[in-house]
Amino acid sequence: MDLSQKDWQSQLEEDSNAVILDVRTADEWSEGIIPNAVLNDIYKGQAFIYRLEELDPSKNYYVYCKAGGRSAQACAIMNQMGFENTYNLEGGFMNWKGPVVFPEE
């Protein structure tokens, strides 16, 4: 499901069962992330799928990329794999107005 920036952030703040999934590349990740995000680069192909298989499908996944295209694709893949609650950040990280942190090296 696509959510606006405002709805994605407000829903995330109220969700105690949330996982934030960043599907950008490692280079993009190093430029800043939404706090508590987990990296799983969609461009890694089968490795991306393997990492999804390790996730708990009962959690709620808030997925983002740079502009919203890759994360929409990731949500579709996750839904096919049995993840019921995936939320795509419309407009992606480049339009994010919420908190940003830099990942530990």
Domains of the chain: 2-95 (3.40.250.10)
What pLDDT was estimated at residue 104?
A: 76
Catalytic residue chosen out of the listed positions 65, 72, 74, 75: 65
* Residue carrying structure tokens 């107005």: 97
Strand ranges, E, within the chain: 2-3, 18-22, 38-39, 60-64, 86-89
pLDDT tens-digit series, residues 80-98: 999 999 999 999 999 999 9
Strand pairing partners for 21? 38, 63
Q: Say if residue 67's pLDDT is above 90.
A: yes
79 φ, ψ to 5°? -65, -40
Q: Is 75 a residue of the active site?
A: no
